[in-house]
Structure 1
Amino acid sequence: MKKFLIAAAAACLCTSSAMAQDADEPWKESPFHCKPGETYVMNVMVSGVEYWYPVYEMFKQAAHQFGCETKYTGTPDYDVNKQIASFQQVLAQKPAGILLHPMNPDPFIEPINEAIKQGTAVVTFAADSPNSNRTSYITSDNLREGSVAADEIAKATGGKGEYAVLENPGQDNHDRRVSSFIARMKEKYPDMKLVGRAATNQDPSKAYQAVLSLAQAHPDLSAVFMPEASSAIGAAQAAQELGGKIKIVNVDVNAKVLDMIKAGQITAAIDPNQGAQGYYGFILLWLAAHPQLIDPMNDYKSAGFNPMGIPLLDNGYAVVTKDNADDFYWDKYLKRRGTKGIDG
């Protein structure tokens, strides 16, 4: 499936270049081009989180290469009902497709299905609503990320000691990272003992207090893992105040996390390949919105499903340490690209 997608993407880009030579009526030359006004939307929870920015940057680039328009939408609050409301507001504008990060899987089943009935394609990314009718799902391998985080902590501690987990229960991709992290520890590093778990819900202040409390209850605490970046900031601050012996490993990065990695306050971060997630996410979404271009030898016509569906596409990840942290700063990335970010 991945080879098919990459081949399709290459074909799309080639035809887009060819169409640029005939600016009068480009859609007569190839179907791989948007009609005037054709719009694709990215919808997220907690819209101010830096993680989304490079995803949207490459979503936007792919869309512009197809001659499409884009919008970035969501809610600034950690509230599934507010995200659903923002999704429905976008849907009322009848976009061609929505690339969606659903905060929770089940509450989005009905909104996604209604969107598809209306004729708006939906592809999920980074978190899924697997029981909905969304056409495709693109993400890094959350289970692999948790396992790699366990390996990084074991490397930093010599595979011995006590560890704790800060988590965000209910968010599907975070739950997967935590469960695989703990499973890897139990399987591969029997000399490491889980001594505590705390729900910090992406709140740095809660993470700070949680690490202080965990360390007080367990003086030999040597490492803490969390499945996102915001909690890592508070956790690392507490670890430093406790003498800097507690190793911090998390998933995702932002400028503050990168600064703390370079300063040695965070050991490592596992970062999904956000740009690829956005670029391939758009291509999946565009194809989902144009299923008439795909005619596979299967039962899609009689069964009534979108022939394009790709159940899962892995966009990859990177392990961020002191050695490569400079490559992950958002401002440096924008400067290199010569763009202005979300609004540019």
Structure 2
Amino acid sequence: MPTILFRCIRYLPVVAACLLLVAGTGCKEAIDSTQQPTLPAINEETQHAAYTLAVIYPMSHPFFEPVTKEAEEAARQAQVNIIVKSPEEANLEQQIRMMENLIKQQVDGIAIDPVDPDALTPYINKAVEAGIKVICFDSDAPDSKRLSFIGSHNRQAGIRLGQTVAELMNGRGMIIASTGMNTMMNMREREEGFKDALKAHPDIQLLELRSNHGDPAISLQNLEEMIEAHPHFDAFVGFDSLSGPSAIMVWKAKGLTQTAVAFDDMPEILEGIRNGQLTATVSQQESRWGYLIVTRLIEAIKNKDIPAIDDSGSVVITKDNVDTFR
């Protein structure tokens, strides 16, 4: 597990003087999983008064780098300003302060990956009541006034993860597992889906599931302690972007051969699959989130209808398709 979190993403204003014409379409009710969504057309109104959009991550981590890259490119093409913020570590108080500051700045739109949907719902509602368009991505706050959710259907992704693990284990054996912040809705939904999938396999036992609270050091420590406590385990499962890299480090150090299934498709995880430290991973196809965030916020600002959910889907990656799944 890498212990160095990626750099804090700085404010990146888009130079409005560089005018580009972007061909676009209206919003779609469903997203084709084989295509990137198109951007809304640029018109004279947006050329003369650029919008300011903001993205708030739960923490600084390489998982979000492709999302930032695509969001910045989409913002450049659409000639809007974009602010990207993230706490160094998963932190509710910092996300709240970021929301409050963006409301004071009167930005036009906010996309947030909330670390605690219940605690952040009042601040999401406050932003909406101030006239700011708000959407959630990756993890949802469904009881808030947010307009839309962008990301994979996390419960279905958890079911798919469980089915994949059961198949790799031939329907029997013992599992240890690691998850992220247990306040995040995406983590809870993946765990629920995973456990539901295992109900069809009574000979598979989930020995222990630990939360790393969004901390890579805790993720590594938890895994090492679970292996020591359950030396006869047959498989490890990770529900978040920290658990897979932790498994790679431990499998390398200990020369383990047990099944290890992770979540997400960061370069380190893909390399772990190629090298045999990981058996499989479930990708959320998050690279498309950046375009969707910018597209949907612009459409919402223009008072266009946007889908309540943009499901980016999920795909299982193994050594057989690690170089072709995209």
Q: Distance in 2 between matches of 1:94 and 1:280?
A: 22
Q: Contact 1:203/1:231 (CA < 8 Å) preserved in 2?
A: no
Is 1:4 aligned to 2:26, yes or no?
no
Correspondence for 1:173: 186
- Any idea what SS the aligned residue of 2:208 has? strand
Match of 2:135 among 106, 120, 123: 123
Is 1:41 aligned to 2:38, yes or no?
no
TM-score, reference length from structure 2: 0.82
Q: Contact 1:55/1:277 (CA < 8 Å) preserved in 2?
A: yes
Correspondence for 1:139: 151
Q: Distance in 2 between matches of 1:10 and 1:260?
A: 30
**Using a 3 Å threshold, how does the CA distance of structure 1 residues 12 and 276 change in structure 2: closer, same or farther?**
closer
Q: Distance in 1 between matches of 2:270 and 2:38?
A: 36
Runs (5+) with no aligned partner, structure 2 = 1-25
Correspondence for 1:60: 72
**Using a 3 Å threshold, how does the CA distance of structure 1 residues 89 and 262 change in structure 2: closer, same or farther?**
same
> Shift in Å at residue 270 of structure 1?
1.0
> Shift in Å at residue 327 of structure 1?
6.5
Correspondence for 1:322: 319
Q: Deviations over 1:106-160 (max 9, x none)?
A: 1111111111121111011011111111111111111121112122222322221
Correspondence for 1:342: none
Q: Deviations over 1:221-280 (max 9, x none)?
A: 111112112122223333444542321112123232222121110111111111222212
Larger proportion of helix? 1
> Shift in Å at residue 71 of structure 1?
1.6
Number of corresponding residues: 297
Q: Which fold has the larger relative contact order, with Cα–Cα distance below 8 Å and residues 6 or more apart in sequence?
A: 2
Match of 2:126 among 114, 134, 137: 114
Correspondence for 2:7: none
Q: Distance in 1 between matches of 2:321 and 2:102?
A: 38
Q: Contact 2:52/2:80 (CA < 8 Å) preserved in 1?
A: yes
Q: Distance in 1 between matches of 2:210 and 2:179?
A: 6
Q: Deviations over 1:74-107 (max 9, x none)?
A: 2212210111112222222211101111111011
Q: How does 1:265-304 map to 2 (within 5 A)?
A: 265-291=277-303, 294=304
Correspondence for 2:195: 182
Is 1:103 aligned to 2:128, yes or no?
no
> Shift in Å at residue 173 of structure 1?
0.3
> Shift in Å at residue 34 of structure 1?
5.2
Q: Contact 2:148/2:306 (CA < 8 Å) preserved in 1?
A: yes
**Using a 3 Å threshold, how does the CA distance of structure 1 residues 10 and 55 change in structure 2: closer, same or farther?**
closer
Q: How does 1:215-294 map to 2 (within 5 A)?
A: 215-291=227-303, 294=304
Structure whose alpha-carbon radius of gyration is higher: 1
TM-score, reference length from structure 1: 0.78
Identity of aligned residues (%): 24
Q: Deviations over 1:8-61 (max 9, x none)?
A: x97855x44xx6xxxxxx34xxxxx45433211111121x21121211222223
Runs (5+) with no aligned partner, structure 1 = 20-25, 28-32, 295-307, 330-344
Q: Distance in 2 between matches of 1:264 and 1:109?
A: 42
**Using a 3 Å threshold, how does the CA distance of structure 1 residues 57 and 11 change in structure 2: closer, same or farther?**
closer
Q: Contact 2:262/2:280 (CA < 8 Å) preserved in 1?
A: yes
Q: Deviations over 1:282-330 (max 9, x none)?
A: 2221122221xx4xxxxxxxxxxxxx3532220122222234445799x
- Any idea what SS the aligned residue of 1:78 has? coil
**Using a 3 Å threshold, how does the CA distance of structure 1 residues 146 and 156 change in structure 2: closer, same or farther?**
same
What amino acid is the match of 1:316? G
